[in-house]
Amino acid sequence: MSSVSRGSLPGVTERERAASALEAETFDLAIIGGGITGAGLAREAGLRGLSVALFESEDFASGTSSRSSKLIHGGLRYLALGDVALVRESALERKVIFRLAPHLAERRWMVLPVHSRTALLKFRAAITTYEKLGAVERDDLHQNWGEDELAREEPELDRSEWRFACAYREYLTDDARLVLANLRSAAGLGMHALNRAPVTQIAVENGRASGVTAKCRLTGREIRVRARCVVNAAGAWVEAVRRLEDASAPPLLHLSKGVHIGIPATRLPVRNLLLLNTDDRRGVFALRRDEIVFVGTTDTTYGHGADLWPRVLRADVEYLLTPLAHYFRDAKIEIEDVRTAWAGLRPLVAEPGKPPTDISRKDEILMGRGGVVTIAGGKLTGYRPMALRTLEKVAEVLGRELPQAGEGGPLPGGDFAGELPGLTHELERQHGLARPTAQRLARLYGSEAHEVVSLGSESLAPGAPVIAGEVDWAVTREAAVGVEDVLYRRTRVALFEPDARRASAGPIARRMQALLGWSDAKTSEELAHAESRLAGDLDFGSAPA
């Protein structure tokens, strides 16, 4: 296996130097958008020796790539659509991600509870076909659970209704951390990237895109970068970016809002990933991660344009609570039990006349008038194959073949033997950490958790599972520039730690103040912003969806 490539992303104190470096050379590739699509492309381009500049208008992964269900899908869902190639691609791809970053591809059972043996047999036929097509390995083959096993695994399920289950493998990832790992790997291969730097113009010379202008929100500096090829990987914002190249570019996307809610595991003691049927014949997941079970997702047309923070509405929450009442009758989960929530926008490639649930999740690659390559749609799961397809277009623009490259070495944090339980145990033993802290750090940072702990292992606040070293790591390696970045996309406390999300904000702000020399006024401003964001997550209002 090749060695791990790991760089750092430029933090607040390195912005000027990073901006000057960006202006100093002509890049092969300028990428607009720092979600999984842009990050995956940057790494694959780097593996092929291309020089890459990447700009993200807000924070890395602040768009859809921090709001997903966080599953590396094996592709079973594509079987129903008859898309055999996609089944194979997804099943094989999750193995690659597992090899590159075992901490970001945790093998978990997806449990489909059913009423009867007949239903179980029907599902089993489909899953067996899927496992053959996807060359699913022995360890990952499905299991059929009878009444006793189901009672042992999911004791709170209403057993008068749900007596059997098929358990098949899905892999749980951490979307935002997968983005950061790809970006840091790309940085190790020479990529230059800036967050808080929206691209405001695409330069065109002789009818061809020749670079971009980005504005650094922190310093106010305009950065002009020359590039032989420009890729628009702006997710829900691809249309706005296309119009920078061609003001008359036609609409492309159908945005669909997807909501997740988080319920403390003490209230909803789910152990695996459960697949629950809804009244409108969709499926929603209930997934355990740390102290939270998150339930999602909705799939509704979003007509307000590409918002960074689409609101979670009462109707969304009620929709997600309904199946819980069917499957966990005794738990009696109420809206007041919801302690975290997030919404994201799916940038689906529009298919006129179809509702969002029927629109394909396939990606589409378009070449603009000035040669800007736009990649739209797709899934987190397929980010590598999407990057490879995009590179074929990039090669056309560059007018040369790109060298072959393998899958590369592990992503940062991915170079450890075995799986998460082994790493968790090692962290407990070597650093005297409590099991929940060790488990959490292993998931977030993989083998790099040792370095994170060495930066400060003390808990930031009583009851807060975040350790001090995480803030330093986020600021110095992962370009976190505000408290929100650390809470939402580096430590994930805002999503997965219901008891600590508010308690952590103040200590994170004070640690950042010390690291970055913030004034008291700046620290208070940062804290107020983070607190209002945390409160906003749970302000469901009463408006209809």
CB of 511 to ligand FAD, least distance (A): 25
CB of 255 to ligand FAD, least distance (A): 9
Nearer CB in complex with ligand FAD: 28/89: 89
Q: What is the dihedral of CA 513, 519, 523, 528, to 10 degrees?
A: -170
Nearer CB in complex with ligand FAD: 345/505: 345
CB of 149 to ligand FAD, least distance (A): 26
CB of 315 to ligand FAD, least distance (A): 16
Nearer CB in complex with ligand FAD: 263/438: 263
Contact in structure between 45 and 231 (CB atoms under 8 Å): no
Q: What is the DSSP letter of 456?
A: -
CB of 241 to ligand FAD, least distance (A): 5
Determine the Cα–Cα distance for residues 146 and 163; give it in Å rounded to an integer.
7
CB of 354 to ligand FAD, least distance (A): 17
CB of 187 to ligand FAD, least distance (A): 17
Burial of 452 (0-12, 13-18, 19+ CB in 10 A): buried
253-264 and 292-296 beta bridge pairing: antiparallel
**Helices H / strands E in the chain, number of each:** 18, 18
Contact in structure between 434 and 458 (CB atoms under 8 Å): no
Nearer CB in complex with ligand FAD: 124/389: 389
Contacts (Cβ under 8 Å, ≥6 apart) of 285 = 69, 71, 110, 273, 274, 275, 276, 295, 296, 297
Nearer CB in complex with ligand FAD: 194/508: 194
Nearer CB in complex with ligand FAD: 12/231: 231
Query: Where on the chain is the footprint of ligand FAD (CB under 6 A)?
Result: 32-38, 55-58, 62-65, 67-71, 73, 198-199, 233-237, 241, 258, 297, 344-346, 378-381
Nearer CB in complex with ligand FAD: 340/504: 340
CB of 42 to ligand FAD, least distance (A): 11
Secondary element (H or E) of residue 436: helix 435-445
CB of 177 to ligand FAD, least distance (A): 13
Nearer CB in complex with ligand FAD: 5/64: 64
CB of 2 to ligand FAD, least distance (A): 25
Determine the Cα–Cα distance for residues 109 and 169; give it in Å rounded to an integer.
5
Nearer CB in complex with ligand FAD: 78/237: 237
Q: 324-329 — which CB contacts under 8 Å span 24+ positions? A: 324/268, 324/276, 324/286, 324/295, 326/158, 326/161, 326/276, 327/113, 327/157, 327/158, 327/161, 327/162, 327/274, 327/276, 327/286, 328/156, 328/157, 328/158, 328/268, 329/158
Nearer CB in complex with ligand FAD: 316/470: 316
Nearer CB in complex with ligand FAD: 338/464: 338
340-349 and 273-277 beta bridge pairing: unpaired
Nearer CB in complex with ligand FAD: 461/538: 538
User: Which residues are bridge partners to 143 per DSSP?
Assistant: 167
User: Which of 87, 74, 101 lies closest to 171 in space, CA to CA?
Assistant: 74
Determine the Cα–Cα distance for residues 541 and 396; give it in Å rounded to an integer.
50
CB of 437 to ligand FAD, least distance (A): 26
Q: What is the DSSP letter of 221?
A: -
CB of 62 to ligand FAD, least distance (A): 5
Determine the Cα–Cα distance for residues 112 and 119; give it in Å rounded to an integer.
10
Secondary element (H or E) of residue 258: strand 253-264
Radius of gyration over alpha carbons of the chain, in Å? Answer: 23
Please state whether the peptide bond connecting residue 297 to the residue before it is cis, i.e. omega within 30 degrees of 0. yes
CB of 464 to ligand FAD, least distance (A): 27
Q: What sections of 300-402 are H helices per DSSP?
A: 314-327, 383-398
Nearer CB in complex with ligand FAD: 287/509: 287
Token pair 């995009």 is found at: 390
